[in-house]
Chain A
Amino acid sequence: MDNGNFYSKKGQRKISSFVGQELLYDYISGQLDTERQKAVDEFLKENREAQGDIQKINNGITYVDRLAETVVSQALLEKIETPSNYFQTVQTRLRFEEWPVGLKLGLEAMIVALGITSVAILVPWHKIMNLRSHSENVVLTEIAHETVKKTTEVETGNAVKEQPAAFQDEGVQTTKPNIVDETDVSKASIKAEVAVTPPATPPPVPEPQKTTVPDTTAVAAAATDTSEKDSKRVGFLYRGTMLVTNAPAVTPKMVEKLTALGSRKAGEVEMGWKKGNGSYFHFTVPENKYDEVLAVFNQYGQLKIQKERHERIMPEGIIRLIITVDEKKSKQADKPDEKVTAPNGSETSDSEQ
C-alpha cells in the first residue's frame, strides 16, 4: 500500500480505517471538503468493508426516507391538538387500564361501599318511618268503617245481641299502633257515636241506601262538629288493684259478670289473664256501666282504683280500665273506705258505689 496516496486534512498522514469509517456518513451527505472527499474516495477503493458500510448507510437513508412519507391522519392531529380535560389528564396519568385486576376490583368495591354508606347516612329515615306510621293510622279509620256496618245490622234487628260490639274492641286491633294522633281519634269517635247510640232507643227503620252506604257528607259534617270538641278532650285510664281470696276461683266469675255488662278486652290478653297468683283485667266498658263494674269487683274484695291521664283517647262513652287482682296473703288485711274516682272525675269512696 502506498502511504503517499492517503493523507489527512493536513496532508500529513494517511486516513486510517477507523477515521475512514466515521467519515462515511459525511462523505455520503457531501459534508466533506474536497481534499477529504478525495481521500475517502481513495480509502473506499481499497477498503471493501467500507464499501459495505456505504451500502448500509445508503440502504438506511432510503429506508428512513420511506418512513418519512408516513402520513398522520387529520383526526389524529386534531386529537393531539385538542387540549385534554382534567378527567382525561387524570385518567391518562393514572393509567387505570394498566392496573392489576385485583387492585381495580378492590377500588371499585370500595367506591360502591362508600356510595351505599353515603346513601344510608343521607336518607332521612325518621321521616320515612313517620310516613309509614301515618299510613297505619289510616288503617285505623277503615276499621271504624266496619263498626258502622255492624251498626247497620243493629238497626235492622239484631240490636240487643250486637250492642257489646258497638264500640271499638281494642283487643282485636292487633296491628294498630298504641298511639293515635288526634285527627284519627276524632274520626274514630264519630264512628263510635254512631255505634253506641242505637240500642238506647229503638231505631227507626232506615232506608237501605242510608244503612249500607254511610253518607259521607253527614260524616264530614259530624267530623267538623266533633273535631273542635275532640281537640280539647284528654284521654283517661282507670287503674285499680285489689286483693282477693282464692283468685283462681273468683276470676272466672268476675269475667262472666264483666262480659255480661258489655266489657271487652282492650289489650293483647283476655280478661282475667293469669298473672302470677292473681289475674289481670284490661278491658273497655260503656261509661254508664262503670258503677256496676265496680260493684262486681267489690263483691270479692276492696278495689282501689284511680283515674289517670293517658295519651290514648277513647271513643266518647267508652272507658278503659286495668285492674290487677292479687291473691290475698294471710297477714294482709283489707283497708276499708279506699277512695275511688268516678268516671265524671269526682272522687268518691267505695262505700258510695
Chain B
Amino acid sequence: MSENDVKAIALFFFYALLDDRRALDAAGEALEMARRRLAANTELKTTVAIVGATQQIWDKHSGQFVRGRPNYSLESGWLVPQGLDLGPWKEFQKSAQEDEFLCLIWSKILKISDEDISQGLGISIGTLRYRIGRALRKLGMMANPVTTKPLGVVK
C-alpha cells in the first residue's frame, strides 16, 4: 500500500474520531487489516480494501468513545489548513448519523470513488449518494463560507 493509502486511512480516523491517539491506534489496525485483505484477495482494489477495513475498525472503536468530545493536541502532527474552523465538523460529527458522515469522509475527504465505496460497504450507489447528499446538506448548514489560506497546525 502506498503512502497516500496510509494517509487516507489516517485521515479517515482522525475526522471520524477527532481523537489523535485513538486515530493512530485505529489507523494502525485498519492498515493491518487492509493489508491482510489485499493479501487474501489479489483482485481486490486497494480503495475497496481500505473502505472495508476502516468500516470494520470503526465499528470496533465506535462503541468505546462518545462522539462530540474531541481530543487532539497541537503536537499531534495533523496539519489542518490554516484558518479552517473545525467547529462545524465537530458539530457535524456529533449530530450526524453515523453512516452519513462516514460516507462523506470516504467520498469527499479521501476522494474514493462512489463505486469503490459502495463495493466496500456492500450498498448500492444510489444509497451512498443519498447519504452523501444528506450529509452535505447538514454540514453546509453548519459551515460558513471558507477562505483558502496556507496550512497550519490544528488548534
- Which A positions have Cβ atoms within 8 angstroms of B? 22, 24-26, 29, 31, 53, 55-73, 75-77, 79-81, 83-84, 92
Minimum CB distance partner of B109 in chain A: A68
Q: Which of B27, B140, B146 has the most CB of A within 10 A?
A: B140
B84 in the interface (beta carbon within 8 A) = yes
A274 to B104, CA, bound (A): 104
Mask: chain B, 30-68; 1 = CB below 8 Å from A; 0 = not: 011000000000000000000000000000000000000
Interface residues of B (CB under 8 A from A): 3, 6-7, 9-11, 14-15, 24-25, 27-28, 31-32, 76-81, 84, 88-89, 104, 108-111, 129-130, 132-133, 135-141, 143-146, 148, 151
How distant is the Cα of A31 from the Cα of B148 in the complex, in angstroms?
A: 27
Give, as a whole number of angstroms, the nearest-CB distance from A78 to chain B: 9
Contact B24 A80 (CB under 8 A): yes
- Write 11 A-B pairs (CB below 8 A) sorted by A numbering: A25-B132, A56-B136, A61-B140, A66-B84, A68-B108, A71-B151, A73-B77, A73-B79, A77-B6, A80-B9, A81-B6
A67 to B108, CA, bound (A): 9
Report the nearest A residue to B1, measured CB to CB: A81
Interface of A is mostly: helix
A72 proximity list for chain B (CB < 8 A): 7, 10-11, 14, 77-79
A57 touches B140 (CB 8 A): yes
Q: Give the residues in chain A near B28, CB-CB below 8 Å.
A: 79-80, 83-84
Complex contacts, B11 vs chain A, CB 8 Å? 68, 70, 72
The distance from the CB of A54 to the nearest CB of chain B, in whole angstroms, is 9
Contact between B108 and A64 (Cβ–Cβ < 8 Å)? yes
Q: Is the CB of B108 within 8 A of A31?
A: no
Q: Do residues A31 and B77 form an inter-chain contact, with CB atoms below 8 A?
A: no
Contact B104 A64 (CB under 8 A): yes
Closest B residue by C-beta to A27: B133
Report yes or no: B133 in contact with A56, Cβ–Cβ below 8 A.
no
Enumerate chain A residues within 8 angstroms of B138, measured Cβ to Cβ.
Answer: 56, 60
Given contacts A67-B109, A70-B109, A76-B78, 14 further A-B contacts (CB under 8 A): A29-B129, A56-B141, A57-B140, A60-B136, A60-B138, A64-B136, A66-B146, A67-B81, A68-B108, A70-B14, A71-B79, A72-B10, A77-B10, A84-B28
